[in-house]
Chains A and B, each alone.
Chain A
């Protein structure tokens, strides 16, 4: 029996020794980033992080690339439950307020962060009453606007309306795109991503006013109804691929594939598609970005973008701050933007030399930059005011029900208002 005890003791000692060796070897700290891709930005990030790791052997950064849908739906729950990653690339920045890591005392130079990024963007990560928290930075600025397939217009002999007019309405664009599609046998005239954010720009251009001085939010307006009716008509007239709004259930859905495959003449999306279009369309046809259509509310798209944020549950706040410092540095952000074909949100990068020899991509980026000064206050309020979470999805889901024949537009308007009120009430409890 003594022999068996001796053997068991020996095994325990060996196991303990093995554990101790790994502890004393000081493995690098492993940090995780939850990330999604629109184009090649994941490759660029990995490349940049490889360089960081080469100079910082005590840190290893793992990039977990997940679908955008998972960023929207699963990451917030993970973070709330304390099971989130150390850092993430997010678009719904308000969803994580209160769960961010305050890096003000951790980064090398907090003043650089304050001076380099728009104050409104940094404030968008803070809870009400918090004026100093440094939780992340915007690593990409986006603007929504329509793309057109110019080759289709030319083949159809239909003039591109914005070539000759400064202000083109959605109705005029719809008819022009419909004519181009019909003349060329293209399946669809026009498409818009199934997203409340994408609908919002046109809605504001049509004159919708959501936010009022007394703090109330009202969905019912001529402008909202006008744009909603235009979207509904696209479906009833067979001008748009039904799959995008009706065929995707209750989630976000992009119409980009239809545009890339030359199946639609006009496509309402945003600047984040430039890199993908430059890669995937190649020289199949000429594409370009046209100004946001004009209406009583102006000619506004929606601002947006992605934020690189850090979460307070991390076990390695100092190391996270070092990675974030590196990713927020001007040189790294410049390279990230130039190689990903993204509009940077950094205020001090100056003129960029985008890494593309595709003149269509370069022109598109310029066109998007031209849209920035036209963005309306309502659009900024929706994006950064902290109430977008209660507005975007009800608009998307209720309009889908109208298109699917489950609700009338009147019923949808009432439902959206109730959904917004309920969501704000629940969030405020």
Chain B
């Protein structure tokens, strides 16, 4: 290994007839300072290893804000008490996990010791299945429509993407204002002679609205991805199919769907991951209610660790480890499917 690489080339201002101005002097001084710091370092480490110095700031940030919290979370999952600092928390082995899994019938949350955790798991499962299916279908339909030569196409593309730009809290508060008991929608219903509908006070209604609103808020993002996928399909294929007398449905089934499948896979997995993580929109919208009807896994973790008067950080950490496993599996599936798609193509 050559450790005596040539020193960095000094950056000096090229001689000009005019005297250098203030900014130039400052810049030159700064470059010279960096040079004086880096040159000995490069001599010490060699050119090849200097790369580590340049990625060090990013590695530090990643380590402090990602890796360290993950390790801390894992350690919390195996400790008890309501104390915040790890040093004050006694090691209790897998008791937190055992408590989460203490169930006589996993299909009935009422038989589980941590019933609210299992309610959250069931709520999340139903939410993920329904919301993702509905969103992928809606996003695909919208993308197909926006891919056609329709009037005001650019305008509609903006309109469908616009909710994505809104903060989830803003989305939640706007819809809450519309749907609450004395909200806009009920005012319209009453003015038409109807009676108020408990949109946010009835468990079924609340679940439906949480799904609809999250689809409304996120669909534009996935529509955009699918639209890009649709535009990548060569138009010659459709022309050839048309010349062969293929119907629109046949073209869709045999050309569009197969060629869009890699993009669909990405959309599906991204939507799944986002659905499992649902939290920011629901808390200001229903705060998990009525009862626990719209309490999902992240909110359960948040409530258990931070809003309950008894702050059970250990249980919250154990639940988040389980959730991390689910997300890891989904991410792994995405990578495998994407890679498989790339190999096929």
Contacts and interface: CB of A to CB of B under 8 A. Distances in A.
Contacts of B84: 77, 80-81
A260 to B, nearest CB: 14
19 contacts: A4-B26, A4-B32, A72-B309, A74-B306, A92-B309, A241-B181, A242-B181, A242-B198, A243-B181, A248-B289, A250-B303, A251-B307, A389-B309, A390-B309, A392-B309, A404-B289, A426-B82, A427-B81, A429-B90
A282 interface: no
A51 interface: no
A241 B181 CA distance: 10
B91 to A, nearest CB: 10
A330 B33 CA distance: 63
B214 interface: no
B202 to A, nearest CB: 9
A299 interface: no
Contacts of A393: 308-309
Interface of B: 22, 25-26, 28-29, 32-33, 80-85, 90, 92, 110, 113, 115, 119, 180-181, 198, 200-201, 203, 283, 286-293, 295, 303, 306-312, 314
Interface residues of A, number: 43
A72 B28 CA distance: 55
A250 B287 contact: yes
A415 B115 contact: yes
Most chain A beta-carbon neighbours within 10 Å: one of B82, B291, B292, B308: B291
Nearest to A11: B26
B80 A250 contact: no
Most chain B beta-carbon neighbours within 10 Å: one of A249, A404, A406, A423: A249
Contacts of B289: 246-250, 400, 404
Given A4-B32, A426-B82, A427-B81, A405 B309 contact: no
Interface in A400-421: 400-401, 403-407, 411, 415, 418
A305 interface: no
B13 to A, nearest CB: 10
B293 A73 contact: no
A1 interface: yes
Nearest to B83: A80
A24 interface: no
Given A243-B181, A393-B309, A4 B28 contact: yes
B25 A7 contact: yes
Nearest to B81: A429
Contact of A247 (B80, B290, B308, B310): B290
A344 interface: no
Most chain A beta-carbon neighbours within 10 Å: one of B22, B84, B288, B309: B309
Contacts of B119: 406
A95 B287 contact: no
Given A73-B307, A418-B113, A250 B90 contact: no
Contacts of A8: 26, 29, 33
A404 B290 contact: yes
A130 B135 CA distance: 59
A241 to B, nearest CB: 8
Most chain A beta-carbon neighbours within 10 Å: one of B22, B26, B83, B292: B292
A247 B303 contact: no
Nearest to A403: B291
Contacts of A418: 113
A247 B307 contact: no
A427 B29 contact: no
A215 B25 CA distance: 77
A425 B113 CA distance: 15
